[in-house]
Amino acid sequence: MNFIRKITNSSPAEDEEFIMAIKKILGYRPKKINFYKEAFTHSSLKRTNEKGRPLNYERLEFLGDAILGAVIANYLFKKIPSGNEGYLTQMRSKIVSREHLNELGKDLDLKRFVESSISNNNFGDNIHGNLFEALIGAIHSDRGYSFTEKFIYRFVIEPYVDIERLEGKITSYKSVLIEWSQKNKKKIRYHVYEDTGNDTLKHFSVKLSVDQDIISKGRATSKKKAEEIASKRAYYKLKPQIET
Question: What value does the mean pLDDT take over residues 187-202?
Answer: 77
Q: Nearest-CA neighbor of 124 among 55, 22, 204, 217?
A: 204
- Rounded CA-CA distance 36/20 in Å is 12
Using an 8 Å Cβ cutoff, are 203 and 220 in contact? yes
Asked if residue 151 and residue 218 are part of one domain, the reply reads no
Residues in Cβ contact with 181 at an 8 Å cutoff, skipping those fewer than 6 apart = 187, 188, 210
CA distance 41 to 62: 14
The answer to whether the beta carbons of residues 90 and 174 sit under 8 Å apart is no
pLDDT in tens, 10-29: 667 778 899 999 999 999 99
Question: What total number of domains does the chain contain?
Answer: 2
Q: Which of 61, 65, 142, 149 is catalytic?
A: 65
DSSP per residue, 151-170: HHIIIIIHHH--HHHHHT--
Last-in-domain residue among 150, 167, 184:
167
| Catalytic residue list contains 65 | yes
Domain that holds residue 114: 12-167
Catalytic residue among 133, 142, 227, 228: 133
Q: Of 147, 167, 187, which closes a domain?
A: 167
Question: For 118-160, what is each residue's pLDDT tens digit?
Answer: 887 778 889 999 999 999 999 999 999 999 999 999 999 998 8
182 and 163 together in one domain: no
Known catalytic residue at 133: yes
Lowest mean pLDDT among 50-59, 139-148, 175-184, 195-204: 195-204
Please state the pTM of the whole predicted model: 0.70
- For residue 4, the model assigns a pLDDT of 43
Q: Which amino acid is at 166?
A: L
